[in-house]
Amino acid sequence: MSVVEVLFGLLGVVALGSALLVVTTRHLVHAALWLVVTLGSIAGCYLLLSAEFVAWVQVLIYVGAVVVLLLFGLMLTRAPIGASNELDSSRGQRLAAAITAAGTAAVLVTSLVDAFHGEHIDLSDDRVAGSSRTVGQAVFRGWVLPFEVLSLLLLAALVGAIVLSRRDISAGPELTRSQETGR
Amino acid sequence: MTLVFVTVLAPFVAAVAGLFLGGRWPRTQVPIAVAGAVVSLGGAVVLAVRVAVDAPLQDVAQVTTVHTGAFDIDVALRLDGLAGIVSVAVAVVALAVQVYSSDYLKGDPRYSSYAAFVSLFTAAMMLVVFADDLFVLLVGWEVMGVCSYFLIGHHWEQADAQRSAVKAFVVTRLGDVGFLFGIFTLSVAAGTSRITTILGTSGDGLSQHTATVATLLLLCGVVGKSAQFPLHTWLPDAMAGPTPISALIHAATMVAAGIYLVARLYPVFLAAPTTLAVMAVIACITMLGAALAALAQDDIKRVLAYSTVSQLAYMLAALAVGSATAATYHLLTHAAFKALLFLAAGSVIHVVGTNLMPDMGGLRKAMPVTFATMTVGLAALAGLPPFSGFFSKEAVLGAAEESARHDGPVASWAAWLVLVVGLVTVAVTAAYVTRLWLMTFFGTARTAVAVHESPPAMRWPLIALAIPAVGLGVVGNRSLLPTWLGLPAPTLHVGLVTSGLSVLLAAAGFAAVVVAWRLVPASDPMRLASLRPVLEHAFYVDDLYDRLFVRPVRAATRAVRWTDDEVVVATVAGSGLGATRLAVLLRRTQQGNVQTYLTGLLAGVVILAVGVVTLT
Amino acid sequence: MPLLMPVLLASLLFSIGIYGVLARRNAILVLMSVELMLNGVNLNFVAFDVYLRDKLLSGQVFTLFLITVAAAEIGLGLAIVLLVFRNRESSQLDELRDLREEDDPPARDQVADDEQAVAS
């Protein structure tokens, strides 16, 4: 058991534990914070796997932007502060969800163990596989077209988000009517 | 032989023409129908003269041959003594009925179809008379049955006319099943259905066993068509049809077709003594039973109907004891006087407005022609000399006596039975004849209607038919008719003892009724107390058939209908209902909660993945 | 390190994410659970990329792309949740029942209603 493996195991436990807390806690805001912990430990795992760039991008985007957005969403939708019993679905639904999740886990674990039992990742190479230099070279040489398409996707998402949430852009007579009567 | 075709086809052409033209131009309905009958009569008379002059005559003409798998059916016609003589009787009655109907059914909205059916019926009977092939005969036989159905049910608005028509059709059809198998048996045994050939081979070709089976089966059809026990129940109910139809169908033609068939195939019947014995028994039961039933009927037409059944039994009895000539003689005289009686009864009914004798009375002064002609007919029916009925009945009884005393084709006990029962029936016949005569024409008038003589078109046929009713006795002279007919065992015997006995018995019957009537003039001479209901319902045979056959069939119909409603329809409706209920059940999964849907989706994917992984 | 470690971790994260998607009532919590699932996928990509020593670094590049897409998705997703909240005053997924089938199907009446609507 090398140092890397031990660290990875610890980080994995932390990630799983906080993920469980995300999906089971009764405090809504706490769930967002536990999500931060999970994302952070995943970033740590990336580091241990020598994927540096991905790790920092994870921290930057996920922890920095996504979680902030989630918190904004919680604020704007008047999320209940403190413990709330309304966060989970009905008992039957939870049971069905647990069974499905357990089933998925079982299938994935058994098939993966069966397939990749005894395989090792070789981390002994001097060259860092995931440094910024190598990733940058890969992206801007091999993957430049998908990169550009992705920027268009971001543009579309941006426009869409603005259109959906602005109140002064009217979408048509029926919708404005229902907006007026729905209030 | 062309004349034979003309005689058969003329009424058929008149029927078709009447159907098509009579609707458009109502004035032509009567002339077309009468013309068809006249042409047929002319042809028949010429043929009869030819047959009488050239006796014994046998002439055949073939039209075409139908090849079936087993044997060939020849569409052929045959002219001989029997055919020629009987065709005259048929044509005369048909013409009389057409003329009579022109006044009886005056103003009837369906007259054109009526006249067409009567003409078609005449054509069918002529086909039966002249047929030389059993299947051609069968065609005529069945067409007569169909026409009879339509004609009895002419006034189909009345429920009893509908029922009687169906009853007549079904009962005769029942007999026709046996008839058809008899034809099959005979044709297969003889190798052909040609009557001429069958008559030729019956001496040595057919075994007695085959002949017995075939004739017994043919007898079923005869019993049905000629209304003998046990298939006699349709005839009294068929009186619901118009009276001229009763005259045509139930006097001269359809009911006589059965007797005609036996006479036509007589050599085959002579080879089967068992059948003859069965015929004798059936004839005796029918003879006496029908005569007794006629004693208690109030409807004048039903009296005549039962009398027809009884007289047909006389003919069947004559055939049973070995004298087809006597049977045919009685057939001819019966055709004349029974048609006369029915038409006269129709005349009375037309004037008085009711069929029931208790509502008639004292009509002889107001309707002299009808009275005179009806008296002639009744006297012939009762068998009083010198009317024709006496001579033909004597021929029948004489044949029975001859067969009983000496060896005839049938067992002697059967011949004795026929003789005794025949004599007893003479007395009963005279009784019901007298009853009818007295209740209709004598005594105080019980009807309120103003009575007058019937119109000329109804009178002249009566007079025309009265002539043969009187005069046919001459023809029966021992050598004339038998020579003309040319049937086996031609001689007509007359026994003096038998004749004397029958006249005495007739006189006794007459006297008894007159005495009973004199005692209480205004009422029914045959009050008969407790016996009356039994006789009036003809020994409850109809009720027995109703219980045995009609009610179970009706119950089965109701059961089938219930099954259709409750089972079949319910199944169909139930499948729709089941689908709806299943839909309600399935709808419970669509609660609107997206997470539920997603759960189901993902669970399904997991299961599929497991399946794929484990099974492949 | 054994390949199974990151790979199993990824599977478990994914399964926990599935539980969260199906069992949480608040829309935002569902979005969080979706993020968990995406992270599991990302970890899987990176692990295999390092294991296979891909020359193109396709696993890590894909991970980057996925992170980007996740960010776009969360932006739009939150916009939709906000709209729904504005219209229905609630962000509980249970209460969005428009897809529900009523017990009494208005099948016959619907035709009549359509005809009336067309005529009027």
- For tokens 């044997």, what's the residue? B71
Q: Closest-CA residue in chain B for C19?
A: B599
What residues contact residue C42 under an 8 Å CB cut-off, 6+ apart? A42, A54, A58, C63, C66, C67
Are A40 and A129 contained in the same domain? yes
Contacts of A62 in chain C (CB under 8 A): 35, 39, 67, 70-71
Q: B584–C99: do the CB atoms touch at under 8 Å?
A: no
Are A30 and A85 contained in the same domain? yes
Q: A99–B596: do the CB atoms touch at under 8 Å?
A: no
3-state secondary structure (DSSP) of residue B537: coil
3-state secondary structure (DSSP) of residue A132: helix
Nearest to A62 by CA among C68, B428, B452: C68
Are A133 and A152 contained in the same domain? no
* CA angle, residues B84, B129, B233, in degrees to nearest 5: 130
Are A92 and A160 contained in the same domain? no
* Residue type for position A179: Q
Q: C16–A101: do the CB atoms touch at under 8 Å?
A: yes
Q: State the CB neighbour count (10 A cutoff) for residue B449.
A: 12
What residues contact residue B397 under an 8 Å CB cut-off, 6+ apart? B419, B422, B423, B495, B498, B499, B502
* Residue type for position B44: A
Nearest to B340 by CA among B203, B248, B456: B248
Å from A107 to nearest chain B CA?
A: 6
Mean pLDDT of A172-183: 52
Q: Closest-CA residue in chain A for B608?
A: A107
Interface contacts (A, C; CB < 8 Å): 260
Angle between helices B594-615 and C4-23 (to 10 degrees): 150
Task: Please report, for residues A140, B392, B494, B498, the alpha-carbon distance to residue B423 in angstroms, rounded to integers and kept in the order given.
Answer: 135, 14, 14, 8
Q: Which residue among B602, B610, B613 places its CB closest to the CB of A100?
A: B602
Residue C120 is predicted with a pLDDT of 60
* Distance between CA atoms of residues B241 and B154, nearest Å: 7
User: pLDDT class for A59, splitting at 50, 70, 90?
Assistant: very high
Are A54 and A82 contained in the same domain? yes
Contacts of B598 in chain C (CB under 8 A): 21-22
* Distance between CA atoms of residues B499 and A117, nearest Å: 129
- For residue A111, the domain's CATH number is 1.20.120.1200
How many domains does chain A fold into?
2
* Distance between CA atoms of residues A74 and B333, nearest Å: 120
* Distance between CA atoms of residues C13 and C107, nearest Å: 46
| pLDDT of A25 higher than 50 | yes
Weakly modelled stretches of chain B, pLDDT under 70: 55-57, 201-205, 447-449, 475-480, 483, 486, 488-491, 521-530
Task: Please report, for residues A13, B288, B421, the alpha-carbon distance to residue B424 in angstroms, rounded to integers and kept in the order given.
Answer: 126, 8, 5
- Domain hosting A115: range is 3-142
Contacts of B606 in chain A (CB under 8 A): 100, 103-104, 107
Q: A150–C74: do the CB atoms touch at under 8 Å?
A: no
What residues contact residue A79 under an 8 Å CB cut-off, 6+ apart? A28, A29, C26, C28, C91
* Distance between CA atoms of residues C44 and A115, nearest Å: 14
3-state secondary structure (DSSP) of residue B25: coil
Are A89 and A176 contained in the same domain? no
With residue C86 as reference, give the H or E element that holds it.
Answer: helix C58-88
Q: Give me the percent of chain C exceeding a pLDDT of 90.
A: 53
3-state secondary structure (DSSP) of residue A129: coil
Å from B611 to nearest chain A CA?
A: 10
Residue B309 is predicted with a pLDDT of 92
Q: What is the pLDDT of residues B67-116, one digit of tens each?
A: 777 777 888 888 888 888 888 888 888 888 888 888 888 878 888 888 88
**Beta-sheet pairing, B58-67 with B72-80:** antiparallel
Interface contacts (B, C; CB < 8 Å): 34
Residue A125 is predicted with a pLDDT of 66
Contacts of B607 in chain A (CB under 8 A): 103
Are A157 and A137 contained in the same domain? no
Residue B89 has phi, psi (to 5 degrees) of -60, -45
* DSSP structure class, residue C93: G
3-state secondary structure (DSSP) of residue A162: helix
Q: B593–A103: do the CB atoms touch at under 8 Å?
A: no
With residue B422 as reference, give the H or E element that holds it.
Answer: helix B412-441
| pLDDT of A182 higher than 50 | no
With residue B215 as reference, give the H or E element that holds it.
Answer: helix B208-225
Answer for the pair B326, B487: CB distance below 8 angstroms, yes or no. Answer: no
Q: Residue B500: exposed, middle, or buried by beta-carbon count in 10 A (0-12, 13-18, 19+)?
A: exposed
Q: Closest-CA residue in chain B for A95?
A: B599
- CA B174 vs. chain centroid, Å, equals 13
Widest CA span of chain C, in angstroms? 75
What residues contact residue B571 under an 8 Å CB cut-off, 6+ apart? none
Is any Cβ of chain C less than 8 angstroms from the Cβ of A98?
yes
Q: What is the pLDDT of residues C50-74, one digit of tens each?
A: 998 888 889 999 999 999 999 999 9
Q: Which residues 13-42 on chain C approach chain B with CB closer than 8 angstroms?
A: 18, 21-23, 30
Q: Enumerate neighbours of C (3 or more CB pairs within 8 A).
A: A, B
| pLDDT of A183 higher than 50 | no
Contacts of B584 in chain C (CB under 8 A): 103
ipTM of the complex: 0.86
- pTM of the complete model beyond 0.90: no
Nearest to C80 by CA among C27, C7, C9, C43: C27
Beta bridge partners of B60: B78
Q: B610–A107: do the CB atoms touch at under 8 Å?
A: yes
Q: A93–B607: do the CB atoms touch at under 8 Å?
A: no
Answer for the pair B244, B101: CB distance below 8 angstroms, yes or no. Answer: yes
Are A75 and A136 contained in the same domain? yes
Task: Please report, for residues A42, A54, A57, A76, B439, the alpha-carbon distance to residue A62 in angstroms, rounded to integers and kept in the order given.
Answer: 11, 11, 8, 20, 125
Between B54 and A96, whose confidence is greater? A96
Are A162 and A177 contained in the same domain? yes
Q: Which residues 12-41 on chain A approach chain C with CB closer than 8 angstroms?
A: 12, 15-16, 19-20, 22-23, 28, 31-32, 35, 38-39
Q: C79–A164: do the CB atoms touch at under 8 Å?
A: yes
Are A147 and A123 contained in the same domain? no
- For tokens 């078709």, what's the residue? B16
Q: Closest-CA residue in chain C for B599?
A: C22
* CA angle, residues B244, B249, B250, in degrees to nearest 5: 95
- CA B363 vs. chain centroid, Å, equals 30
Nearest to B233 by CA among B157, B315, B170, B313: B170
* Distance between CA atoms of residues B514 and B298, nearest Å: 17
Is any Cβ of chain C less than 8 angstroms from the Cβ of A85?
no
Å from B581 to nearest chain A CA?
A: 25
Q: State the CB neighbour count (10 A cutoff) for residue C35.
A: 23
Are A137 and A165 contained in the same domain? no
Answer for the pair B516, B526: CB distance below 8 angstroms, yes or no. Answer: yes
Is any Cβ of chain C less than 8 angstroms from the Cβ of A6?
no
Contacts of B593 in chain A (CB under 8 A): 93
Are A70 and A160 contained in the same domain? no
3-state secondary structure (DSSP) of residue B360: coil
